[in-house]
Amino acid sequence: MADLSTEYLGMTLRNPIIVGSSGLTNSVAKVKELEANGAGAVVLKSVFEEEIAADEYIRAEFEDVLKEAMTSG
């Protein structure tokens, strides 16, 4: 088999096939499957600090409401 390894952004990849962020990369199981099937690299969805802060704010604001809803159901 031919050596398809390549350098990309200072990393050595086993081949130049890079799977972009998509439904194919939205779970660990799918990423492992891509790797097992030969992907040289996988691009994951970015998480920004603002998204995390917004989630924490919403969770804090509605924590009491959620608790009440879960216990009364």
Q: What is the pLDDT of residue 44?
A: 87
- Residue-averaged pLDDT of the chain: 86
Q: Which of 22, 6, 3, 56 is nearest to 31 (CA)?
A: 22
Its pTM surpasses 0.85 = no
State yes or no: pLDDT of 73 exceeds 60: no
Q: What is the pLDDT of residue 22?
A: 93
